A and B are shown apart, each in its own frame.
Chain A
């Protein structure tokens, strides 16, 4: 069965610093991976998705993620953090068991300080 693991329940950065949120996956078939963002008191919004077309995926708000098969990773990065990036970020994988559904990681809360 497919699964994702997010390392670090909280990540703190200063405004302008690099953002790196980690996600490792487990899958016996080529995975389809997503990053979602949840701003306070809101639903989830798609940041980006990997569907095997390109290993470097660019998303909204300056975020990108690189699929690395050798490391079974799909880490999310942004070169320069903004205060508005403070949110919870979820990695997710499509599970192929009959009906294809998303399985989410436990989330990483990004804190941005001035």
Chain B
């Protein structure tokens, strides 16, 4: 079991460039999440998905798009990167959203936008 994996681990973009971050999980989880982590702000939810073909906005969705075409994959896209999107991005997955659930996290992608 690889758990939750993220690709790439590091990336540097110029302002205005686009990119896609890939998250994959092999635990057959229904729910998947994208967070960003910034110093002193903890983790903030960008978008999430409750199943294949579904997506929803989280706390800070502006400037990002997502897709969940396959149950095991959750893609995060930046159409026109801005310096404010410099952050560490984490993907997570969980079996359900029930009150005793646990989210499993990937190792993160460190993105710098210059």
Contacts and interface: CB of A to CB of B under 8 A. Distances in A.
Contacts of A43: 4, 90, 92, 105-108
A34 B44 CA distance: 16
Query: Which secondary structure characterizes the binding site on chain A?
Result: strand
A80 interface: no
A99 B105 contact: no
A106 B41 contact: yes
B107 A32 contact: no
Nearest to B59: A103
A5 to B, nearest CB: 11
Contacts of A72: none
Interface size class of B (residues with CB under 8 A): 20 to 34
A70 interface: no
B68 to A, nearest CB: 14
Interface stretch (A14-22, A44-52, A60-68): A44-52
A76 interface: no
A99 B40 CA distance: 26
Contact of B99 (A51, A106, A107): A51
Contacts of B58: 101
Interface of A: 9, 32, 34, 36, 41-46, 49, 51, 90, 94, 99-102, 104-107
Contact of B102 (A9, A49, A104): A49
25 contacts: A9-B40, A34-B102, A41-B107, A41-B108, A42-B108, A43-B4, A43-B90, A43-B92, A43-B107, A44-B43, A44-B90, A44-B103, A44-B105, A45-B105, A46-B103, A49-B100, A51-B100, A94-B99, A99-B56, A99-B97, A100-B98, A100-B99, A101-B45, A102-B103, A106-B40
Contacts of A34: 102
A38 B44 CA distance: 15
Interface in B88-114: 90, 92, 97-103, 105-108
Contacts of B106: 43
A99 B57 CA distance: 11
